[in-house]
Amino acid sequence: MEDRTILNRNLAQMLKGGVIMDVTTPEQARIAEAAGACAVMALERIPADIRAAGGVSRMSDPKMIKGIQAAVSIPVMAKCRIGHFAEAQILEAIEIDYIDESEVLSPADDVYHIDKRKFKVPFVCGAKDLGEALRRINEGATMIRTKGEPGTGDVIQAVRHMRMMQSEIRRLGSLNDDELYEAAKQLRVPFDLVKFVHDNGKLPVVNFAAGGVATPADAALMMQLGAEGVFVGSGIFKSGDPVKRAQAIVKAVTNYNNPKILAELSEDLGEAMVGINESEIQLLMAERGK
């Protein structure tokens, strides 16, 4: 494996046990950093507003991203559209720490994802199941997150995707060596990746939860289901008291196995984001890019 791929996987390892927060201004970025975020995702509109606004959603203005890079010392991530390698080149040119090739934005290509091995800068990609996760890793992603359903405040899809990935990982572990070739065929991924998951019982890269996490309890749920950290998009800055909620979710990820602490953290957080139920949404972002 190339050095760059290993270094980029290593950065994701440093983010483990942490919360990555969506921010739209330098001010929000500073709030997120002070609250204990391990990284921020710079974007012009958080997913809930993208959903409300409709229309085509694209990479953010590089000037806006640079403003956020200047405001904080933690890693800064940004999103590009699925398959839009020119947007990714622009993000690499401004030395972003991680690119999210994201289904939250309007896809630019309905067949091909970005050839992420061509880049020096790392990529995180969303996945609903093990096949998607391994296909993205094969394309060069060095970190995976569940897709969930962004901008809804409804955790059901993130749960579904994490459970699906974990159960498929366990199933691979139970197969005989000679059954792995067929598994690779069914998952539509190279044998080596299937073999790695079989031998190690996990993905070869860090796996976070994303899409619909709104409360400390949601974050703890995802961690107990096997996430190694959490992305929170609309959940923080769409809530009544962003500072308090951000701090609470950070501590919930650290103490995800301690219900007593989680109870304290869940007290008095003010309004959570209103949210939309899965059955009420028109647009399933998770269906973008398989």
Q: Which residues are catalytic?
A: 79
Which of helix, strand or coil describes residue 144?
strand
Q: Is 74 in the site for another protein (CB under 8 A)?
A: yes
Burial 28-53 (b: 16+ CB within 10 A, else e): bbebbbebbbbbbbbbbbbbbbbbee
11 or 269: CB nearest another protein:
11
Give the shortest CB-31-to-another protein separation in angstroms: 12
Task: Tell me which residues in 22-61 interact with another protein (CB under 8 A).
Answer: 33-39
Q: Is 106 in the site for another protein (CB under 8 A)?
A: no
Which one of 48-56, 218-226, 249-257, 269-277 is the stretch in contact with another protein (CB under 8 A)?
Answer: 249-257
With beta carbons less than 8 A apart as the criterion, state whether 247 and 34 touch.
no
166 or 255: CB nearest another protein:
255
- For residues 55 and 44, give the distance between their C-alpha atoms in angstroms, rounded to a whole number: 14
Which one of 4-12, 178-186, 210-218, 269-277 is the stretch in contact with another protein (CB under 8 A)?
Answer: 4-12
Using CB under 8 A, pick the residue from 83, 122, 148, 289 that binds another protein. Answer: 122
118 or 120: CB nearest another protein:
120
Using CB under 8 A, pick the residue from 255, 272, 275, 278 that binds another protein. Answer: 255
- Which residues have CB under 8 Å from 153's CB, separation 6+? 48, 212, 214, 234, 235, 238, 272, 273, 274, 275, 276
Residue 174 tokens, joined: 């139970």
Q: Kindly determine how many residues on this chain lie close enough to bind another protein according to the rule CB under 8 A.
A: 39
Q: Is 236 in the site for another protein (CB under 8 A)?
A: no
Using CB under 8 A, pick the residue from 24, 43, 51, 97 that binds another protein. Answer: 97
Q: Is 5 in the site for another protein (CB under 8 A)?
A: no
75 or 153: CB nearest another protein:
75
- For residues 6 and 8, give the distance between their C-alpha atoms in angstroms, rounded to a whole number: 5
11 or 272: CB nearest another protein:
11
Which one of 54-62, 72-80, 126-134, 160-168 is the stretch in contact with another protein (CB under 8 A)?
Answer: 72-80
- For residues 232 and 255, give the distance between their C-alpha atoms in angstroms, rounded to a whole number: 17
Rg (C-alpha) for the chain, rounded Å, is 18
With beta carbons less than 8 A apart as the criterion, state whether 228 and 17 touch.
yes
Q: How large is the angle between the packed helices 130-138 and 180-187, nearest 10 degrees?
A: 90
Q: Is 207 in the site for another protein (CB under 8 A)?
A: no
**Count of helix runs (H) and strand runs (E) in the chain:** 13, 8
Question: Residues 272, 207, 182, CA angle at the centre, nearest 5°?
Answer: 130
Which one of 15-23, 47-55, 184-192, 236-244 is the stretch in contact with another protein (CB under 8 A)?
Answer: 15-23
Q: Got the DSSP string for 60-119? A: PPHHHHHHHHHH-SS-EEEEEETT-HHHHHHHHHTT-SEEEEETTSPPS-SS----GGG-
Q: Is 230 in the site for another protein (CB under 8 A)?
A: no
Which one of 8-16, 46-54, 147-155, 192-200 is the stretch in contact with another protein (CB under 8 A)?
Answer: 8-16
Site for another protein, rule CB under 8 A: 3, 6-8, 10-11, 13-18, 33-39, 69, 73-75, 92, 95-98, 120-122, 247, 250-251, 253-255, 258, 261
